[in-house]
Amino acid sequence: MRPRRFLVTRLGDDSIVIEAGEAAHAERVLRMRAGDAVVVFDGTGAEVDGRIERVDRGRLIVRPTGPIRLADDGWAGLTLAVAAPKGERADWMIEKCAELGVAAIRLIVTERGAVTPGAGKLERWRRKAIEAAKQAGLSRVMAVDGPMPIGEAADSRWLLLLGDPSPAAESFVDRLEGLRAGEAHAARVQVMVYIGPEGGFTEAESAELASLGAIGVRLAPSILRIETAAVATAAVFAGVMRDDGAWPRGSIHMRTQEEHAD
């Protein structure tokens, strides 16, 4: 059985502290004790093997048993700008995108959006992202940000690609592979995907995305729901991405099933 993973605020050379909720879960639920092997990570790409040295006032003190491992500096990150779907669909989307290594989800406010998550829901989703990272063996935790306006979620340094379900549109995979081949020596790169709300973006919102330089691409021949488009995009990105992270900067707005119906 592989060692349990725990998120910490800081990795140290001599000792590392697992505290708060992580410590309570380790001690009370998992019944972990001194001598147990663990992996601790900081959520930003660093992790280290360790062994619990002692339990001290609700905290677990861990002694590192190896060097700190850092994620590749050329890591390519995927950010999803998403109008949150309803109910359990959003929970599922957050969990699966986090497992697939999405860097961040930015929840966008749109005219037709049915869900504007409050602080409590955001905190629950952030906990889900942490648990998904631990389950998937990731050293980075997906950020969950927002709610925010469409334009605030974007980054002017990135190329925008606008989802287009027509068969004539270039496929998402072909676009990424072509850009990757053209920028094989790129260092750290970021890709952003815009996913619309139920009912789709309004004409004004679509015009705003177009003003940011959106170019049409097609993810699949079928029309996808919000959470399906998010997870499918994450899976395609993970599957096509190279280990060296040599990827172009980009941003994609995927058309959802609800948009198509509108």
The 3 state secondary structure assigned to 108-120 is EECCCCCCCCCHH
* pLDDT tens sequence across 134-186: 999 889 999 999 899 998 998 777 767 766 666 777 888 887 787 677 654 44
Residues near 234 by beta carbon (within 8 Å), at least 6 away in sequence: 78, 80, 96, 97, 100, 101, 102
Q: Residue 165 has what pLDDT?
A: 62
Q: What is the mean pLDDT of residues 204-222?
A: 83
**Averaged over 32-56, what is the pLDDT?**
89
pLDDT beyond 70 at 242: no
**Residue 56 neighbours by CB distance under 10 Å:** 11
Residues 6+ apart with CB under 8 A from 257: 223, 224, 225, 226, 228
For 51-85, write each residue's pLDDT tens digit: 999 888 788 899 999 898 887 655 567 889 999 99
pTM of the model: 0.82
Tokens of 247: 């990827």
Q: Which residues of 3-18 are buried (b: 16+ CB within 10 A; e: fewer)?
A: ebbbbbeebeeeebbb
Q: What integer pLDDT is reported at residue 29 of this predicted model?
A: 86
Residue 209 is predicted with a pLDDT of: 86
Q: What percent of the chain has pLDDT over 70?
A: 84
